[in-house]
Structure 1
Amino acid sequence: MIAASAFLPKLLDTIDAADPPAAAPADLCAALGQALFERLVPYGVPQTQTIYSTGPDAACDHRTPNNRQADPDAYGSLHVRLLRYSRVGWHSPSGRASHAFAESCDNSAIGGSFQHTSGIADEACVAYQEESDSGSGSAIVRRGADLFWVDNQTHLGTVDSARRAVADVVSAFLAAVP
């Protein structure tokens, strides 16, 4: 019994080390394509304080600046994040991602309450909302051990434009990020 309890931590460390998370792209914005952000965020600029890539975690954020002079009624934001899971003990990377996916989809987003949808990667949930002159949409997508979040809001947008924007970002992610 004592030998087994002394051996178990070393075994778990060996298992964890054998299945580390994949590195996220060094620049998630570039991986998805600058043109995508330019098309979906009116007058958008990268928010350098919230763009990062560190190990298995990366994010990209574009927003319309408050001080712009042209077309003050057209504004929006697009935030995307990728988190790649690793093995912890007996919990597989994809199992951990699936658990985090389920918890995330139980929350609400700028697009309202999430609804599960099929046909997108391994699992996905989406939320869309139209309020006044704004359309917003969110998605959480799981592919293997990866979770990918999208939040998009556009003033002078509709729920249909939000749906298309989120679908375009998810498609770009699935195509560009291995």
Structure 2
Amino acid sequence: DELPRSLTTMFSSGEALPLSTARAFLKKWPHCALENILSCTETSADISFCKITSQVTDSNRLLAPIADHRVCWQNTMEVRDGALVITGFNIPDKYLTPSANGCFSKTADGRNVLASGDLAEWVEMADGTRLLWSNGRRDFNVKVRGHRVDLSGVEAVLEDCEKLKDVAVFCAKENIW
């Protein structure tokens, strides 16, 4: 229940970090810095970092920001039409399942591009820092015990069941472990 005093930094990676969790962590262990990391399967690496500060925890947002000025692996991250787009050498050019490949493209110079499905926006904070904030998902993907599940795909399969009249699949909780 206690962290060693020698632990000075904790990293959160792999899933969206709810700000309520970040607030609780920093309140319980104020001696330990908290870094939120964007890490997605398609990049096979942690690609951006954001230190969680009081300026961040004082905001009224649901999720912690996923990037400040530190972006790794020579990736570029931009927001197009409200969604996160990542470009870099560590982006694959396709999935093994051809039907899922609509999120990949290439730049004019041949670099791979991923439209991640994450809703995001760059926001300038009061101190002038620009942070990339996650605003959920554009699609119906959720993570269940670390596995990506497309709820619309589950819904489509259930709609084929002749004994079911109407079908709706939704995520009742933000975090499903």
TM, length-normalised to structure 1: 0.27
| TM-score relative to the length of structure 2 | 0.27
* Bigger fraction of residues in helix: 1
**Larger proportion of strand:** 2
Higher relative contact order (CA 8 A, sep 6+): 1
